[in-house]
Amino acid sequence: MLELRDLQVKIGERKVLRDINLHIKEGETHVLMGPNGSGKTTLLRTIMGFAGLEVTGGQIFFKGRDVTDMPIHERAKLGMGMLFQRPPTIAGLKLGKLLAVTSGERAGLVSEYTRYLHMDNFMDRAINLGFSGGEIKRSEVLQLMVQQPDFVMLDEPESGVDLENISLIGNAIARLLEKDVHIVNRKKSGLVITHTGYILDYLDADYGHVMCDGVFRCHGNPREILRVIKTSGYKECLACQKI
Amino acid sequence: MPEDMKQMADLSSTEKDRLTQTGLEVEMKNRSGSFFQVDQEIRQTASLEKGIEVLSIREALQKYDWLEDFSWKLVSKDKDQYTRYVADQPDPRGFVIIARKGSKTVYPLQTCLFLAKTPIQHVHNIIIAEEGAELHLISGCASASYTKTGSHIGISEFYIGKNARITSTMIHNWGKEISVFPRSASKIEENGIFLSNYVCMQPVRKIQMSPVADLAGKNSIARFSSIVVCTPGSFMDLGSVARLSAEGATAELLTRAITTGGTIISRGMIEGTTGHTRGHIECKGLILKDGIIHAIPEIKGDVVDTELSHEAAVGKIARDEIEYLMSRGLDEDVATSTIIRGFLDVKIAGLPQSLQDQIDAAIDSAEKSGF
């Protein structure tokens, strides 16, 4: 599904990602952990193709195509999607209007997804304007359900969300990633940034990666990695010479 | 232009389209009355609603002596060269609309001022909503497709009586070499409401106006909204003034302005001269291409208990907003126009849906032509 080969990224003169290699196969969910400022969000934004990030080396392959220089919307059309940790507020643009524009042939499903995520009363509201933390995430998940990407990047889907909403959002993301489909037949893949790991209760991630200072420091079982981080913080990852 | 053209329906399809873009209904469906003036010739005055009178100003001044007390009382004849020009005309043109006490229009009443051949079109309009009356106006002002130059000078005086309500939605569709000088003022009595909306999405050489609202009655409300797109070569000096001169009076002045190369001066002035009053000015501007937006919000309070505020922001579309929509699969052009459409999408509280629809349609039409 997604392959990153020796990816090097700069913001201005600063090298922010180095020697990034990652292979996410069809049906797999990977988890990305690391301290604040380690480059996790930058990696997701680079994969999506946002401006302000310069790929100085390496390549991004998606579904077998080199998408390193592809515009954002073409990557989206090819099947990439992203849940933003802090999406922008777009004054005047109603959530319902955006869904109408993006839904295309899935227009008939919008109302079902809207009800499922309890967003019925938000269709006439400007995107993210005055939304609470949980509402922002529900709006993000709703947009992704309408978009139905094959590869979903989730940037801290549980941050700022209360326990009741975590369950709703977690189940919706599980649906988005076809967690109800047997692994053999599952087509959807994901890359999830999490600090708390709460979201893993819903996702059954396959692989975990730890990023520190723009490089991967560890790959392994996501729950084991999380346990180590919860007990000892990231210092063991930094000291680890395994990679 | 054919000599026998008496009504809007008789216009060529090109001219009808231009009027339709200003929200006018040429077949008069869902309209409670109409006034239609081409150049200086009045082609139609009609009211289908009981309690609402639509007259030419000449006819009205002959019919009602008392109307003198409403003529040139809110706008001074000596305000400037344009008011003097209109005041000096021996044979005035324009309309008078009187909504009698307690009358209510279900459908809006439309007024159309169409500039075709005359170098200067001048009108003087008086609109009166008596106590408890409710009147909705849609005013479409346009020039003919073949009219290259000309000026339009329009004097409008609005009287909103006790517990009365007037909504006035004016949509302009002029040409690149047409200059426009509206001079409007309103007086709002106790619990009266005046909503004034202005939309101009098409080229104009120059438009300059600053309607004044005198909130003279307790708990009166005035709300001015302007939605404009200023194209290269256009100069728009737009403002509005609200004087809060009675307790409980409230005024809001709202502007959404986009320039694609023209110059916009967006003025707003609220003066709080009495206690327990509130006023707010909001001006948001987007510079899409080379152009100027100069926002000049002014608030002046001279008593303790008046609350006045303003906010103004001028800038470009944020890159992160465009990229956010691109990540949902929209290409850059569609993402940009979707954001612009949202920026202009102002829902005006208290405006009947049919009039809001006309504003939305005018914006949709501009969106289709790529702003």
Q: Are B210 and B182 in contact (CB under 8 A)?
A: no
Which residues are within 8 A (CB) of A56 and not within 5 positions of it... i.e. 6 or more apart? A8, A9, A10, A15
> Does some domain include residue B207?
no
* Predicted confidence band of residue A179 (pLDDT cuts 50, 70, 90): confident
**pLDDT tier at B353, thresholds 50, 70, 90:** confident
Would the pLDDT of B2 be above 60?
no
The Cα angle at residue A145 between residues A140 and A151, in degrees rounded to 5: 90
Domain region containing A42? 2-239
Query: Residue B69, exposed/middle/buried by CB under 10 A (0-12, 13-18, 19+)?
Result: exposed
CB within 8 Å of chain B, chain A residues 133-172: 143, 147
CA-based nearest distance B107→chain A, Å: 25
CA–CA separation, B242 and B185 (whole Å): 10
List CB contacts (< 8 A) between B335 and chain A: 73
Start-to-end Cα distance in chain B: 30
For residue A168, what is the domain's CATH number? Answer: 3.40.50.300
Q: pLDDT tens-digit profile of A57-98?
A: 999 999 999 999 999 999 999 999 999 999 999 988 999 999
> What chain B residue is nearest to A99 in terms of C-alpha separation?
B328
Decide if B242 is inside a domain. no
Mean pLDDT of chain B: 91
Give mean pLDDT, residues B184-197. 97
From chain A, the residues in CB contact with B283 under 8 A are none
**Residue B241 in 3-state DSSP?**
strand
User: Band of the pLDDT at B23, cuts 50, 70, 90?
Assistant: confident
- CB of B137 within 8 A of CB of B166? yes
Q: Please count the structural domains in chain B.
A: 1
- Asked whether residue B271 carries a pLDDT value surpassing 80, the answer given is yes
User: Which tens digit of pLDDT belongs to each residue from B223-265?
Assistant: 999 999 999 999 999 999 999 999 999 999 999 999 999 999 9
Contact A73 B330 (CB under 8 A): yes
pLDDT for A242 equals 62
pTM: predicted TM-score of the whole model, two decimal places: 0.84
The answer on pLDDT for B4 being more than 50 is no
Distances in Å between the Cα of A217 and the Cα atoms of A28, A210, B114, B159, B170 are: 20, 5, 73, 75, 64
Using DSSP's 3-state secondary structure scheme, residue B199 falls into strand
Q: Do A134 and A107 contact (CB within 8 A), yes or no? A: no
Q: How many domains does chain A have?
A: 1
Cβ pair B38, B32 in contact under 8 A: no
Select the residue of A73, A81, A93 nearest B342 (Cβ to Cβ). Answer: A93
Residues 6+ apart with CB under 8 A from A220: A207, A208
Question: pLDDT at residue B3 above 60?
Answer: no
> What ipTM does the predicted assembly reach?
0.94
- With 80 as the cut, is the pLDDT of residue A112 above it? yes
Q: Which residues in chain A are contacts of B319 at CB distance < 8 A?
A: 51-52
